[in-house]
Amino acid sequence: MILVHDIFVCKPGNASKLAKMFKEAMAGNDEVVNIMTDLTGAYNRVIMVSKYDNLAAFEESFEKYLKDAAAAKKMKEAMAGYQDLYLSGSREIFRIW
């Protein structure tokens, strides 16, 4: 099992907006387990946590959007403008023991 943390460092005042956008856009995605905002540490962060059986399943999740034009269009519409809300981002992948 692996956990993926997609970390976004938002422009000041935009973390809650981005978190809400992710929460609504990912509502039907069983792989996304949490949308989190920071309480301590670096400010203005939104972290989307996803869970997969293995790295192959992680890669397959991207492939399904490339193959399913309707799903890709729906996601694009739900996430319109999200790039304007953050400054940088990163991804961390952890193995669960």
- In the chain, the number of structural domains is 1
Strand-strand pairing, 2-10 and 45-52 = antiparallel
pLDDT in tens, 4-42: 999 999 999 999 999 999 999 888 888 999 999 999 888
56, pLDDT greater than 90:
yes
**Whether residue 97 has pLDDT greater than 90:** yes
pLDDT at 70: 78
Query: In whole angstroms, what is the distance from residue 56 CA to residue 26 CA?
Result: 20
Give me the CATH number covering residue 62. Answer: 3.30.70.100
Give residue 55's pLDDT. 96
Domain housing 46: 2-95
DSSP string, 6-49: EEEEEPTT-HHHHHHHHHHHTTT-TTEEEEEE-SSSSSSEEEEE
